[in-house]
Amino acid sequence: MTAPETTKMTSAKFSEFVLSIDDLYNMGIRNGFYLPKQSSSAVNELMLTNVLKKNYWCPMTKDIRLKSIVKAPLKEVILVNLPDLRCQQDRNVGRLTKLFPR
């Protein structure tokens, strides 16, 4: 089965295909984004549409190489270091941009 040719469509036509957040989430997965679990509080319509438009950075499944962690870092350590990493790489990570402005 081959994919249909990519075409531009109006938002009205697009809304015929995307009826819920489930559809947006599945679209993100099909497009190769490594998204958080759908039940996560971070997953909402705004986040998904911005990931799909590439306004928010999200890793791609093909780029994920999971390694075993002997001891996971504390949440507090991650929250302290993540804003610095975001600024170093100039990444927009959604809500963290509001929590940790440059």
Tell me the mean pLDDT in the region 96-100.
Answer: 55
Residue 49 maps to a domain: yes
The predicted model scores a pTM of 0.56
Which amino acid makes up residue 9? M
Distance in Å from the first CA to the final CA of the chain: 47
Task: Please check whether residues 41 and 81 belong to one and the same domain.
Answer: no
Q: Put residue 60 in one of left, alpha, beta given phi > 0 → left and psi -120 to 50 → alpha.
A: beta
Q: How confident is the model at residue 44 (pLDDT cuts 50, 70, 90)?
A: very high
pLDDT at 99: 57
- Both 37 and 72 in a single domain? no
Residue 67, pLDDT above cutoff 80: no
Q: How sure is the predictor about 100, in pLDDT bands with cuts at 50, 70 and 90?
A: low
* 60 lies in the same domain as 94: no
d(CA 49, CA 27): 10
